[in-house]
Chains A and B, each alone.
Chain A
Amino acid sequence: DTAVSQTPKYLVTQMGNDKSIKCEQNLGHDTMYWYKQDSKKFLKIMFSYNNKELIINETVPNRFSPKSPDKAHLNLHINSLELGDSAVYFCASSRTGVTEAFFGQGTRLTVV
């Protein structure tokens, strides 16, 4: 049983397209996150949701829109994709009051 699962694992798309990445966790956690890992492997938080409510929204272009239909799911929709959006996107989850986060396998997005 995968604890935090993301789909797809790989995504290759053309500039200007719109794409979504889905994330689901079966750990019963109430907080979910999206992190971006750039080509130098640096990781930075993008968004966080707690019980479907947006908690963290770092300086991210508004072409990126997270959606949390319930506390087990957090999807990331990206409009008008640009070359600079190429990265690995990680979903993670944690329980409120518990410090450790569990990460998914990542989605490698390549914009051509």
Chain B
Amino acid sequence: GDSVTQMEGPVTLSEEAFLTINCTYTATGYPSLFWYVQYPGEGLQLLLKATKADDKGSNKGFEATYRKETTSFHLEKGSVQVSDSAVYFCALTGSSNTGKLIFGQGTTLQVKP
């Protein structure tokens, strides 16, 4: 079945460091891919998305490119801030076309001043 694998966390970075969180997926068909962010004590917010191969999603300085050849959707940011500390989830729409999201296990990012 469809699945998403994210790099293990926690990831601890200093402010202004470069961030990469790896995400790979297994899916039949052509899923849409997402990054959601969960700040402490809050719900999930959509960070960015890509709906087809080679699409790049971007928002708030974060970027991810839909790579079909490597089945990856890695999240990057050039310079992280303390306020970026959160849990990041990679997700895809399942092949059943029901809108169901399949999530990776989440990666906790902690940014220190």
Interface residues of A (CB under 8 A from B): 4, 31, 33, 35, 40-45, 48, 50, 55-56, 90, 92, 94, 96, 99-106
Contact = CB atoms under 8 A, between A and B. Distances in A.
Contacts, number: 60
Task: State which size class the interface on B falls in.
Answer: 20 to 34
Contacts of B101: 35, 43, 45, 92, 101
Nearest to A95: B99
Given A41-B105, A41-B106, A42-B105, A101 B43 contact: no
B105 A96 contact: no
A45 B49 contact: no
Contacts of A42: 103, 105-106
A90 B101 CA distance: 13
Chain B contact surface mostly? strand
Chain A contact surface mostly? strand
Interface of B: 32, 34, 36, 38, 42-46, 49, 51, 87, 89, 93, 96, 98-103, 105-106, 108
B43 A33 contact: no
Contact of A103 (B43, B49, B98): B43
Contacts of A41: 38, 87, 105-106, 108
A59 B36 CA distance: 24
